[in-house]
Amino acid sequence: MGRRQSSLFKWLTPGLGVKRWLALVMVGVTLLGLGIAFILVDLYRTRPLPQFIYTLTLRGLPSWVRAVAVGVVGTACILVGMFQVSRVVLAPFVRNGQPVVDMVAAHRRRQRGPKVVAVGGGTGLPVLLRGMKPYTTNLTAIVTVADDGGSSGRLRRELGVLPPGDFRDNIAALADDESLMTQLFRYRFGEGDLEGHSLGNLFITALSAVTGSFEQALVESSRVLAIQGQVLPSTLENVTLMADLREPDTNGMKRVAGESTITETVGVIERVFLLPDAPRAYPDAVRAILAADMIVIGPGSLFTSILPNLLVPGIAQAIRASRALKVYVCNVATQAGETDGFGVSSHVRAIEQHAGPGLFDVVLANDRFLPLVDANFEYVDVDWGSRKPQMETANLVDDRHPWRHSSERLADALMRVLDGAPRAS
């Protein structure tokens, strides 16, 4: 009983957006009551009524006592009735017995959360989005379209669609029931003509044909899965990621085409670029960047997930023009064949060499180093010092997978950086 009363009073908490509508209901009920009262008074004065009517109206008591009694009973009836109706109507949407008022409060809090734009791709971006969901629903993921491997690459070559793989992962990460959606969207067929394809990739590809465009397919996929935020491409052009690699033995240079081929080719990546070399940025992505409170670049594969977005001129220009706080999240560990031996300074230097300096205000890096049993990884050394941009460090490691970021720890660190950042004038 006490818990029910507590939940009832929570509906009066400031900021829920409930009291104003409750007041409107009270006004409507009062007006309706006045109308009924006019009729009763008229009947009361002009014709005899059954005795129980006089009893119900508390005739014989002072008028102020009658008014207070009727008001208290009426208000109690309204509140209890509304509470029970809300329980019945919202029961299908309640999870794990959580009170409806707590769910409403959390939803309202996230709606008022900061506008966060995350730029990247691969496995790093979904990790960030999962962590940010409890803080805000104003999330935008801007994803590279340079992927050409696996199921995405096959669909891209055979059907001419943009690669859906990274979009699938990020849409699943933003879904309400992520555990089920992740399993469903990542399910891969193991045999037959569909062998190797994921259901999520086929779903988005089919929606592209039904709706007539890839971007509309993303909108409809997001609506079907009721995601908290939006997932946008950095460009709609069919770009190819190119790389110049230095061969370790001869020190000669060779050029490689295709995102999936770059990390499989032996050599040190000297430069990556796009063909065509100046693709037009997706307008909605630019608008989201300009309206953001915080722009997060990374985490993710440096050369094959992050830089392909920043190599779209309109994306880099919009980030520079935005008044948002701009944070680069450096990877926890190096990536074999891509960033071997890289410290934080090497990651930042590579971004500046490709996209120019001054792209972000803060560099966020991990400062907790657990034992790594996989020889393909080593922790990124925090070798930045006191240079600009500002360096922030925190424990960002996932205890179960110490070469990856923890969604919760990363989001908490980003929110602390945002809360402590001076706002642009």
Cβ-based neighbour number of residue 282 at 10 Å: 21
Sign of the Cα pseudo-torsion (28, 33, 36, 37, in order): negative
In order, the DSSP letters of 152-193 are: HHHHHHHH-PPP-HHHHHHHHHHSTTHHHHHHHHH-B--SST
Hey, what's the torsion of the CAs at 144, 145, 150, 154, to 10 degrees?
170
Least confident of 61-70, 237-246, 394-403: 61-70
What phi, psi does 108 have (nearest 5°)? Answer: -65, -40
Q: Which CATH class is domain 110-420?
A: alpha beta
Helix (H/G/I), strand (E/B), else coil: 343? coil
**Which residue has better confidence, 176 or 311?**
311
Question: What is the rounded distance in angstroms from the CA atom of residue 167 to the CA atom of residue 146?
Answer: 12
pLDDT in tens, 5-45: 555 556 566 665 666 776 777 788 777 877 777 776 776 67
Is there a contact between 178 and 127 (Cβ–Cβ < 8 Å)?
Answer: no
C-alpha distances in angstroms, 37 versus 32, 40, 73? Answer: 9, 5, 16
Average pLDDT on 92-104 reads 57
Amino acid at 282: Y
First to last CA, the chain: 51
In sequence order, what E strands does 330-381 have? 362-366
Residue 398, Cβ density class (10 Å: 0-12 exposed, 13-18 middle, ≥19 buried): middle
Structure tokens at 188: 């891969």
- The kind and range of the H/E element at 117 are strand 116-120
DSSP alpha helix (H) spans, 263-305? 283-290
User: What's the confidence (pLDDT) of residue 104?
Assistant: 56
Q: Could you tell me which of 352, 356, 350, 358 has the C-alpha nearest to residue 271?
A: 350
User: What's the confidence (pLDDT) of residue 272?
Assistant: 96
Strands 362-366 and 268-275: unpaired
**Which residue has better confidence, 179 or 409?**
409
Least confident of 13-27, 219-233, 319-333, 354-368: 13-27
Structure tokens at 45: 């004065």
C-alpha distances in angstroms, 255 versus 197, 244, 310, 335? Answer: 29, 5, 20, 20
Helix (H/G/I), strand (E/B), else coil: 400? coil
Q: Could you tell me which of 153, 171, 241 has the C-alpha nearest to residue 207?
A: 171
User: What's the confidence (pLDDT) of residue 425?
Assistant: 37
Question: What is the rounded distance in angstroms from the CA atom of residue 382 to the CA atom of residue 368?
Answer: 10
User: What's the confidence (pLDDT) of residue 423?
Assistant: 45
Query: Does residue 77 carry a pLDDT above 50?
Result: yes
Query: Does residue 148 carry a pLDDT above 70?
Result: yes
User: What's the confidence (pLDDT) of residue 38?
Assistant: 75
Query: Does residue 130 carry a pLDDT above 70?
Result: yes
pLDDT in tens, 267-301: 899 999 999 989 999 999 999 999 999 999 989 99
The residue with tokens 């996230």 is 110
Residue 369, Cβ density class (10 Å: 0-12 exposed, 13-18 middle, ≥19 buried): middle
Question: What is the rounded distance in angstroms from the CA atom of residue 165 to the CA atom of residue 152?
Answer: 5
Question: What is the rounded distance in angstroms from the CA atom of residue 208 to the CA atom of residue 215?
Answer: 8
Question: What is the rounded distance in angstroms from the CA atom of residue 184 to the CA atom of residue 178?
Answer: 10
Strand partners, 297: 119, 328
User: What's the confidence (pLDDT) of residue 98?
Assistant: 57
Strands 240-246 and 268-275: antiparallel
**Which residue has better confidence, 410 or 199?**
410
Within 13 Å and on the Cβ side, how many CA atoms surround 150? 17
DSSP classification of residue 149: S
Residues of the chain with CATH 3.40.50.10680: 110-420
Strands 139-143 and 230-233: parallel
